[in-house]
Amino acid sequence: MEGKPKFNYESAESTEKENKTDPQEVISKILQVLLGIIMAVLHM
């Protein structure tokens, strides 16, 4: 888990306020979360 970049929630919130709903942003965030979960499971 050392090399896993920390997700910056504050910057994500500010970008969400700028552009209300950008489907590509939402999809990329979902993929990031899924990737994080998969990597966590693989490292167990």
Q: Where are the domains of the chain?
A: 9-43
Q: What is the rounded average pLDDT for all residues in the chain? A: 75
Q: What is the pLDDT of residues 11-23, one digit of tens each?
A: 655 555 555 667 8
Alpha helices (runs of H) in the chain, residue ranges in sequence order = 9-18, 23-43
Structure tokens at 21: 């709903």
Q: Which residue has the higher pLDDT, 33 or 11?
A: 33
Q: Which residue has the higher pLDDT, 8 or 38?
A: 38
Residues 6+ apart with CB under 8 A from 25: 15, 16, 19
User: Is the pLDDT reported for residue 5 higher than 90?
Assistant: no
User: Is the pLDDT reported for residue 3 higher than 90?
Assistant: no
